[in-house]
A and B are shown apart, each in its own frame.
Chain A
Amino acid sequence: GAVVSQHPSWVICKSGTSVKIECRSLDFQATTMFWYRQFPKQSLMLMATSNEGSKATYEQGVEKDKFLINHASLTLSTLTVTSAHPEDSSFYICSATSSRGVYEQYFGPGTRLTVT
């Protein structure tokens, strides 16, 4: 149980375009979802926290107009990177928690974004 999927697993886009990444909890209802960014050989940095039906809370330094997060249902959150630039190239990982296990986060497999 507690499976989280991400789609796509990798994407290449041109500079200036927008890219949407989906995060789904497959077998549980995710009351909270988190989005992380990971640059090569570095740790995960939390970008934002989203609760179903409410606006996402962004970490300091993360542009909310550039990284649009929508958490429309208890099983789906989306991250849209708008007007992507090469410096946005990174590994984006989502995670989810359920109401039963608030201390355990279940991670998706990640999405590799390359902006050319």
Chain B
Amino acid sequence: SQQGEEDPQALSIQEGENATMNCSYKTSINNLQWYRQNSGRGLVHLILIRSNEREKHSGRLRVTLDTSKKSSSLLITASRAADTASYFCATIYGGATNKLIFGTGTLLAVQP
């Protein structure tokens, strides 16, 4: 399977704390993306980091990418209860296509 893995599988923190999720993937990539999914809902695209980038910021989100280790991390700073959701990393699979392969996901619970 080409599916990546994320850890931790579940994370529970208090509001105001930072949350870090890690993603490991198996193939060479053009880019890596992070998505958020609220329970029983569709996915929301959070951020895309290209293979030649090492770090990217978007608001309270910080993503790092280490292509030598085939890993990425998503940091959410100053978390809020509304950040409670599942977070997935995803990589493009297949050079000529844009098929996304999702990681196993991290369920984040932010306690108010």
Taking CB atoms and an 8 Å cut-off, the chain A residues in 70-116 that contact chain B are 91, 93, 95, 97, 102-110, 112
Q: Is the CB of A43 within 8 A of B88?
A: yes
Instruction: For chain B, give the interface size range.
Output: 20 to 34
Q: Is the CB of A34 within 8 A of B43?
A: no
**A25, CB-defined interface residue at 8 Å:** no
User: Which residue of chain A has its CB nearest to the CB of B41?
Assistant: A109
The residue in B42, B97, B107 that gathers the most chain A C-beta atoms within 10 A of its C-beta is B42
A-side contacts of B33, CB under 8 Å:
103-104
Instruction: Decide: A93 near B43, CB < 8 A? Known: A43-B105, A103-B48.
Output: yes
In the assembled complex, how far is the CB of residue B78 from the closest CB belonging to chain A, in whole angstroms? 26
In the assembled complex, how far is the CB of residue B44 from the closest CB belonging to chain A, in whole angstroms? 7
Secondary structure at the B interface, as helix, strand, loop or mixed, is strand
User: Which residue of chain B has its CB nearest to the CB of A46?
Assistant: B99
User: Which residue of chain B has its CB nearest to the CB of A32?
Assistant: B98
Q: Is the CB of B100 within 8 A of A34?
A: yes
**B111, CB-defined interface residue at 8 Å:** no
Inter-chain CA distance A25–B56, complex, in Å, is 29
Interface string of B97-111 (1 = CB under 8 A from A): 111111111010000
Inter-chain CA distance A97–B98, complex, in Å, is 9
Q: Is the CB of A43 within 8 A of B45?
A: no
Taking CB atoms and an 8 Å cut-off, the chain A residues in 23-61 that contact chain B are 32, 34, 41-46, 49
Q: List 23 A-B contacts (CB under 8 A).
A: A4-B42, A32-B98, A34-B99, A34-B100, A43-B102, A43-B103, A43-B104, A43-B105, A44-B102, A46-B99, A46-B100, A91-B40, A95-B43, A95-B100, A97-B98, A103-B30, A104-B33, A105-B45, A105-B98, A105-B100, A107-B35, A109-B41, A110-B40
Q: A6-B42, A44-B102 are in contact. List 7 more A-B contacts (CB 8 A).
A: A4-B42, A43-B3, A46-B100, A95-B43, A103-B30, A104-B48, A109-B41
